[in-house]
């Protein structure tokens, strides 16, 4: 179990959250080519080390947070509020 210190609710069990995924900039749907859009949809850095990602507190405040986590140790370095989901398919 990992504890995720939610910006609004304090430290909570990671099971309360939905991991949205790596924080990535969404290309403009009006101008992006299909290849750019699909790269945004599917390609991931999948870092082994420190990474920045978005989590959704679905069983709590139902808001998004930006988390800096080490993917090998699951250690968490910083948590900040994130107003918008940054990866498609975020809300379940």
Partner 1 sequence: MATNGHRSPAQRVAYPARYSAFGLLRRGLTHEEWPPAWRAHPLKGSYDVVIIGGGVHGLAAAYYLAANHGITDVAVLDKGYMGSGGSGRNTAILRSNYLTPEGVRFYDRSIELYRTLAADLDYNVMFSRRGHLTLAHNDSSLRTMRWRAEVNKAEGVDSDVIGPAEIKRLAPFLDVSDQTRYPVLGALWHPPGGIIRHDAVVWGYARGADALGVHIHQNTEVTGIDTAHSQVRGVRTTRGDIATPVVLNATAGWATLIADMAGVALPITTSPLQAAVTEPVKPFLSPVIVSGTLHVYISQTDRGELVFGASVDPFTSYSMRGSLEFIEGLAGHVLELMPALSKVRLLRQWAGLCDMTPDFSPVMGPTPVEGFLVDVGWGTYGFKAGPVSGEAMAECIASGRTPEIIAAFGLDRFGAGLLVGEKGAAAVGH
> 21 vs 60, which CB is nearer to partner 1?
21
Contacting range for partner 1; rule: CB under 8 A; set: 13-21, 24-32, 80-88: 13-21
Residues binding partner 1: what is the number (CB under 8 A)?
Answer: 21
For 1-58, give the secondary structure using H, E and C.
CCEEEECCCEEEEHHHCEEEEECCCCCCCCCCCHHHHHHHHHCCCCCCCEEEEEEECC
42, 83, 84, 92: which one binds partner 1 (CB under 8 A): 42
Q: What are phi and psi of 59, to 5 degrees?
A: -105, 25
Based on the shown chain and the rule CB under 8 A, indicate whether residue 34 belongs to the binding site for partner 1.
yes
7, 9, 14, 79: which one binds partner 1 (CB under 8 A): 14
Tokens 């609004």, residue located: 8
Binding site for partner 1 (CB under 8 A): 1, 14-15, 18-19, 21, 34-35, 38-39, 41-46, 48, 71-74
């Amino acid at each position: 179990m990992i504890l995720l210190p939610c910006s609004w609710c304090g430290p909570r069990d990671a099971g309360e959250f939905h991991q949205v995924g790596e924080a990535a900039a969404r290309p403009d749907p009006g101008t992006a080519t299909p290849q750019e859009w699909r790269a945004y949809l599917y390609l991931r850095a999948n870092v082994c080390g420190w990474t920045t990602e978005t989590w959704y507190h679905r069983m709590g405040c139902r808001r998004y947070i930006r988390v800096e986590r080490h993917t090998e140790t699951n250690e968490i370095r910083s948590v900040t509020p994130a107003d918008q989901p940054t990866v498609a398919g975020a809300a379940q």
